[in-house]
Amino acid sequence: MNHSLAFVLLLLAGIVVAADTTAPARAKRPPPPPAYLEECGGCHAAFLPRMLPAASWRRLLQDLPHHFASDASLDAVTAGEIERWLVSNAGDASRFPTAPAEDRITRTRWFTRQHDEIGAKTWQRAAIGKPSNCTACHRTAEQGVFNERDLRIPK
């Protein structure tokens, strides 16, 4: 093997070793598997696992070919990986006495309560369209951040 190639490979290994020792220190919750961001986040906001109870996530992941009138089918290995992560980080059972209608985040009690000051006219604005369009107002929703400071309701 020539020397410059060996050097590049060593550098690569060094980056991996360094990343491995520094990354976990900050993360409070386990980060989403890349497959979640790629497969689910490809079509809609990467919703947080705690937004639904485990039973809802299980049902959704077991029926991806009929996902809210869309085919979101996935190979079993990837779907299983995503399901395990969602279920193990799902909303606490005490917050969800029953699963929301149709397992929709927008039909949970916490969602309704948090958005009770938003009128029907507001939801219908062109830039919003419907309650599931998180990023229309929560500009940092893609990063999983939903605090009020980053909230802007488009006119």
Partner 1 sequence: MNAPNRSARLHRIAVLLATFVAAATSAHAESPAQIRDGYARLAGAPPQATRGQQFFGSRHGSDWSCSSCHGSVPTVTGKHASTGKAIQPLAPAVNAERFSNPTKVEKWFRRNCNDVVGRECTAAEKADVLAWLLTLKP
Quote the least distance from Cβ 64 to partner 1, whole Å.
9
Between 12 and 93, CB nearer to partner 1: 12
Quote the least distance from Cβ 135 to partner 1, whole Å.
8
Count CB neighbours of 61 within 10 A: 19
How far out from the chain centre does Cα 28 lie? 16
45 binds partner 1 per the rule CB under 8 A: yes
- Quote the radius of gyration of the chain (alpha carbons, Å): 20
Quote the least distance from Cβ 10 to partner 1, whole Å.
5
Question: Are the C-beta atoms of residues 133 and 43 closer than 8 Å to each other?
Answer: no
Applying CB under 8 A, the span of 26-34, 50-58, 70-78, 111-119 interacting with partner 1 comes to: 70-78
Residues 116-155 that bind partner 1 (CB under 8 A): 129-130, 132-133, 135-136
Q: Which of 108, 106, 117 is nearest to 151 (CA)?
A: 117
Question: Are the C-beta atoms of residues 135 and 142 closer than 8 Å to each other?
Answer: yes
Strand partners, 138: 151
Site residues, partner 1 (CB under 8 A): 6, 9-10, 12-14, 16-17, 43-45, 65, 68-74, 129-130, 132-133, 135-136
